[in-house]
Amino acid sequence: MTTQVEPCAELLLDNQLCFALYSTSLLMTKTYKPLLQALGLTYPQYLAMLVLWESDGISVGEISARLLTDPGSLTPLLKRLEAEGLLHRVRSSQDERVVHLHLSDQGRALHEQAKALPACILKASGLSLEQLGTLKQELVALRGQLQQPL
C-alpha cells in the first residue's frame, strides 16, 4: 500500500529553480550535440577548446579554474584532445607539476568551423540576442552568488 504525502508548494518539482536549470542544461547539451559531432567534439571538449581559443598556452590548473572543474577529471579529456591532434600538452621547465596546453594547427583551424555555432544556438533558443545576453548575465550572477560560502 502506498501512502500519499500532502503536497507542499515549495517542494513541487515544477517550482524548483534547480530543476529548471538542470532540465534546460540537458536540453542545451542535446541541442549542441549534432553541431559538435560535425566538429568531432563532445560538449565538455568544446568547453575546453573555447578556453584554449581564448588563451592558448594556458595551464591545466588555469583551464580547470575557468571551467569550474577538478584538474584530475579534466586530464583524460585533454589527453583525448591531444590524441585527436587538437592540442599539445607541455610540462613546464620551471615546475614539472605544471602542464601547459598549446593549440595545434588543427586546433586553430577548428576555431574557424566553430564560429558558426553561436548563431545556431541563438536560432534554436528562439530568443533575441539581447534576451539571451540578459539571461546569461542573470545566470552568471546566480553562479557567482552560489560560489559564496553559506
19 — pLDDT class (breaks 50, 70, 90): very high
- DSSP 3-state of 140: helix
Q: Do 71 and 144 fall within a single domain?
A: no
- Alpha-carbon gap, residue 81 to 114, rounded angstroms: 15
* Residue 60 included in any domain: yes
Place of cell 552560489: 146
One domain for residues 54 and 125: no
Q: Are residues 95 and 138 in the same domain?
A: no
Residue 81: all three cell numbers together: 584532445
Note the pLDDT of residue 140: 97
Question: Rounded distance, CA 84 to CA 56, Å?
Answer: 17
pLDDT tens per residue across span 71-84: 889 999 999 999 99
- Domain, as residue range, for 40: 30-114
Is residue 125 assigned to a domain? yes
Q: How confident is the model at residue 6 (pLDDT cuts 50, 70, 90)?
A: confident
- Tell me what the mean pLDDT of segment 28-38 comes to: 97
Percent of the chain with pLDDT over 90: 88
The tally of domains found in the chain comes to: 2
All three cell numbers of 129, joined, read 540576442
- The answer to whether residue 17 is domain-embedded is no
The backbone torsions φ and ψ at residue 45, rounded to the nearest 5 degrees and listed phi first, read: -65, -40
